[in-house]
Structure formats: structure tokens, C-alpha cells
Amino acid sequence: MSAEQAAAFTGRRVLLIVGGGIAAYKSLDLVRRLKERGFTVRAIMTEAAKAFATPLAFGALTGERVFDDLFDLTAEHDIGHIRLARETDIVVVAPATADLLAKMAHGLAGDLATACLLATDKPVLVAPAMNPSMWSHPATQRNLAVLAADGVRVVGPNSGAMAERGESGVGRMSEPLEIVAAVESVLAPQRAGRLAGRKVLVTAGPTHEPIDPVRYIANRSSGRQGFAIAAAAAEEGADVVLVSGPVSLADPPGVNVVRVETAREMMAAVESALPVDAAVMTAAVADWRTEADSGHKIKKDGSGRPPALVLVENPDILATLGHHPSARPKLLVGFAAETDDLIANARAKLDRKGCDWIVANDVNPETGNMGGAFNTVRIVSRAGIEEWPRLAKEDVARRLVGRIADHFAGA
């Protein structure tokens, strides 16, 4: 990191609230990374957090006293929790447990951490960390929707192995440098981009439809194109919500990322994000799921015959938006990944799904487009077909976002 980069944030203040989860150990490194960039950091630890890390460790790294008691007479004689909440530039909650998110969503203030969160008038950034089942639970997703509506920013969580032996999925706290990038994005001066004042929804990645606790139906989508589009839209000043299936990509700076696993979870997250000005639906959503996923691992029975899997159709997210009775996006862009009859299939999808544009890309194995770093696309609309050269997915994203900006400029 250059001296110029560090100088940009020298003296900026972060109030770090450490929740009670095993990921609290990452927050020690987060403090170090923030201080490297010139931030001053104060830490509040919940009682549960002290079971995973010590106030002594956070105090040594911040160089400040660590706060943990709402009723500390030495701090509260001048309403200390209000000062903590206001004497900062941003409040970061890392790890943000399911319990902390629920308390935030419902305005509870029974300890120092939640009292400060309720009292602050500064931006709040949360880095969720929890078991995948807790993350995907409808209650957690409802709480996140409430917090997003209140303006709370979210970074992560990521997908990977859990602390619990043998478990993996979405729920790992973002890495410290990812959280630092999100902090910098919130606090950095924003240029007036061409999409300033517009809300953009992007979906990305595959969905995983469980068969049993260890198997699922999926596809090879990496999510890279959708993440690049979300980043490009944010660079143009848009308020971006990115709903992502399971991918191993860092959250784009300045983007509110909602992580999901299944098509039904993605459908719920998309509907929670409405209304939007533009929706760009790049996700490779599984068409089918099993009628009922098994609660235990399906074993071979020695007969040589595979078990019968009864499949049912998943919700059609793109068509739902295209024909939405009250909150259809002003501009709806779908993606058509095809191996045969690319243009014919894209045109049929344009009409069937009720889209404005279809970005058609050839995903034959020899192209390397599916999961790769490049894409060759055609923009199919009712006005005709626009062919683009083979481009890096980041360049496709910038070019597409430029077209979206042009659309609204001429509206």
C-alpha cells in the first residue's frame, strides 16, 4: 500500500463492534489492517465475543481502551455510549452474528454494542458470520432485508468450510482485507457517476439445490460476470444490490451483497430488493430441484440402480420480474447462456420472459466462456442484434453498464 493510499484515511475513525463468534480472531487482523491504512480504531466487545478473544489483545492492537459495559460508571457519567456512537466515521460490526443482526433489525439496546448501534448517526457496515443453516434461515434473511432498507451496508459472508467439523457453505466472515475495502468504499469521496441516484439489482453465480446433506444440483457458473457488472454499476454511482449464489469471489467495493444458496432463496432476496431502476440477471439459476431433499446421505443399496430423484421446477426469477404486476424494473436485462441456436433461443427468451434486452453468450465447452475470464456476447433487443467482440468479463461489464447509463440518459 502506498503512502498516498494510507494518507487518504489518516485520522478517520472506526468503531469496531466484535460479536461472539469464532471469526472474532479475524477481527484482530482487521484492526491491524485498518491501522496500516491510517485509521484509528476503537473496539467494543460483546460478552460473547470475550469467549473467543480477549480485551487485552484488542487493546494492544488498537492502542485504546476496549469497551464492554453499558453501565460502566467511569465511561457513562457523560453518556459514554452516545459519545462512542457519534465520535466515529463508521461503525463496523465484525463478526456480525445472527443474534446481533436480529437485535439490530428490531432496535434492541440491552448492552453497550446494541445501544451504540441504535444511537449512531454514522454509516454502519456489518460482516455476517454464522453457520450456513442460520444464514439461510428465513428469519435471518428477513432481518437482513430490514437492515438493508435502513441503509446498513453488508460485506459477505463468503462460502467455505465452517468451524463445525464437516460443514461448509455460505456463512464465513469476509476476510479482513475485503472488509477494509468495504470501509474505504463507504468513506471514500464519491464521484457523480452516470447512474447516481439509480438503484440497480444484479444476480450472479449458480444456485445449489440440495439432494441430501452432501450432494446438490448445480452448474459451472463462476459468478464472475455478474460481480463485474455490479462493480461497474457501483463505479458509475448506482446503489447496487448483488444477490449471489455460492461463489468464491470477494464482494465488490460499494455493493450490498446478499449471499444465497438455492433458487427459492434467490427469488426471495430479489423480491426484497424491489423496486429498482434496472435489473441485470446473470445468475445461472437451476431449473429444477428435488421434490424433497433427504435429511440423511443417500446410500447405495447394492442393486446397481440409482435412487429415483423426483424433480420439480424452480421459480422463474427472470419471468417473475418481467411480468411483475407492480414493481417491474424500468430496464430488465436477462442473460441467455446457450450451446445451440444462440440467437433464436435468445429472441424466444426475450419475449417469453418479458425482458428489454437479452445478453446472449455461447457457452459451448470450446469457448471457455462458462467459468472463464472472457466472454463473447450479443445484445438482443426488439430493435435488433448488437454483436460485441471477445472481451474480458470486466470489459463486458463496463460496456454493458455504459449502455444502461445511455438508456437512462435518453429516457
Q: Does 252 count as an annotated binding residue?
A: no
**Structure confidence at residue 277 (pLDDT):** 97
Q: Is 219 among the residues known to form the active site? A: yes
| Average confidence (pLDDT) per 10 residues, the chain, 411 residues | 58 92 92 91 92 92 86 55 84 93 92 90 91 87 85 82 71 87 78 87 95 87 93 92 91 88 95 96 93 81 84 94 96 87 89 94 63 81 89 90 92 61
Domains assigned to the chain: 1-189 (3.40.50.1950), 193-289+307-411 (3.40.50.10300)
* Catalytic entry in 158, 219, 256, 369: 219
Q: Does 316 count as an annotated binding residue?
A: yes
The 3-state DSSP class for residue 32 equals helix
Q: Does 299 count as an annotated binding residue?
A: no
* Residues 6, 8: Cα–Cα separation, whole Å: 5
SS3 content of the chain, % helix, strand, coil (to 5): 35, 25, 40
Q: What is the pTM of this model?
A: 0.60
The C-alpha cell at 270 is: 430479489
Other CB atoms within 10 A of residue 373 CB:
12
State pLDDT tens for residues 196-229: 999 999 999 999 999 988 888 888 888 999 999 9
Alpha helices in 63-162 (DSSP H): 73-76, 80-86, 98-105, 112-119, 132-136, 138-149
**Structure confidence at residue 338 (pLDDT):** 77
**Structure confidence at residue 72 (pLDDT):** 64
**Structure confidence at residue 318 (pLDDT):** 96
**Structure confidence at residue 142 (pLDDT):** 87
Q: Does 179 count as an annotated binding residue?
A: no
